[in-house]
Copies of this chain bind each other. A is one copy, B any other.
Amino acid sequence: MKTKKRITIYDIAEKLNITASSVSRALNNSNHVNEATKNLVLKTAAELNYKRNVLASNLRMGKTKTIGVVVPRINQNFFSNVIAGIEDATYQKGYNLIICQSNESRDKEIKCINTLMNQHVDCIVISVSVESDDHSHLKNVLDQGVQLIQFDRVADELETLKVINDNEQASMEAVTHLIEQGYKRIALLEGPQNLNIFRQRKTGYLKALKNFNLPVISELVIENAWTKELGAAATRKLLSLPEPPDAIFASTSDFSALGVLDVAHAMHIKVPSELGILGYANEPFTELTTPSITTIDQFSVNMGKTIANLYFEEMENKEVVVTPKVISIKPELIIRASTRKKR
């Protein structure tokens, strides 16, 4: 390991017989240096292959051009897409990304936040874990003066920048679609209601029913069916009711919709003629199942880019105190075979 000593501004200064101050000013394009020396410094810096020591710079400046991202799971399609979007946009501005996963655990989430704060990130982007009810750790971030942007799963009560989907609207459109296809007894698989996205989706479901004067049948609303397994279990229960549903809206995820489909297959129930299935998130696999699954696309990569750009905008007019900004992205219903009852 022959670690040759890195070139510093002092090396440049020495070579040019000036002080480090001037070198620094030249490199930062300050107008407190002569144009000639500025060029000289730039030229020498290039020659010596000088690289600014960001560690020193960060310490001095108190900022790191780094954004911390906390998601429940990195390897979940929606989240990895959002991250890809963020990376794409931040990269262009010379920002770095530190990624943490909370594994849906409140404890780990808190630790992630602490780590990121210790790293002095300039901004934290988070989609909260399912366990996180109390958001004091997020409040801390704000108190420390660090920018906080929530996305997708957000804590409503915290006044932060937010980038969300219009879950209610999407859900309403989805259920409306089911009704228009002629489904009459529509079941809802709902997610943990402490997360607002799942509450909103439920609201959309209820509103759609109301719009068409359909009754809300409580036995058709299943709590906490947000994994493939839970979705399957819920479906078994639903389909063995005296009056089973003729459609199931897995408002939690495409994975639970997949559980529904599996059970339907196993019970030889025809989809979509006997049972309509609708998922959420437009996971890649939804167009590959037989039948393909109708679902809702959240424009996840785009969401990531929006988050990044929101941050940069805020940075630019940081003096102006804006009311907490919320950007809502309208998701799109992707109609596929699993709900095409009418031909």
Contact = CB atoms under 8 A, between A and B. Distances in A.
Interface string A246-262: 00000000000010000
Interface in A87-114: 87-88, 91, 94, 96-101
A1 B120 CA distance: 15
B84 A101 contact: yes
Nearest to A112: B91
Given A91-B100, A100-B91, A288-B289, A143 B2 contact: yes
Q: What does DSSP make chain A's interface, helix, strand, loop or mixed?
A: mixed
Contact of A145 (B3, B101, B117): B3
Contacts of A216: none
A55 B59 contact: yes
Nearest to A120: B55
A64 B56 CA distance: 12
Contacts of A55: 55, 58-59, 64, 120
Contacts of A115: 94, 96
Number of copies: 2
A75 interface: yes
A75 B119 contact: no
Interface of A: 1-4, 51-56, 58-59, 64, 66, 73-75, 77, 80-81, 83-84, 87-88, 91, 94, 96-101, 115, 117-120, 143-145, 258, 284-285, 288-290, 301
Given A97-B99, A288-B289, 18 more contacts: A1-B145, A2-B143, A4-B143, A4-B144, A53-B59, A55-B59, A59-B59, A66-B98, A74-B83, A74-B87, A75-B301, A83-B99, A87-B99, A87-B100, A96-B119, A97-B100, A284-B284, A284-B285
A274 to B, nearest CB: 19
B118 A51 contact: yes
Contacts of A118: 51-52, 54
A74 B304 CA distance: 13
10 contacts: A2-B143, A54-B119, A56-B59, A73-B84, A74-B80, A75-B301, A91-B100, A96-B115, A97-B100, A285-B285
Contacts of A51: 117-118
A45 to B, nearest CB: 14
A98 B4 CA distance: 24
Nearest to A301: B75
A184 to B, nearest CB: 29
Output the residue of A77, A83, A91, A96 with the most chain B CB within 10 A: A96
A8 to B, nearest CB: 12
Output the residue of A75, A77, A100, A144 with the most chain B CB within 10 A: A75
A264 B98 CA distance: 43
Nearest to A114: B51
A112 to B, nearest CB: 8
Contacts of A143: 2, 4
Output the residue of A53, A64, A97, A99 with the most chain B CB within 10 A: A99
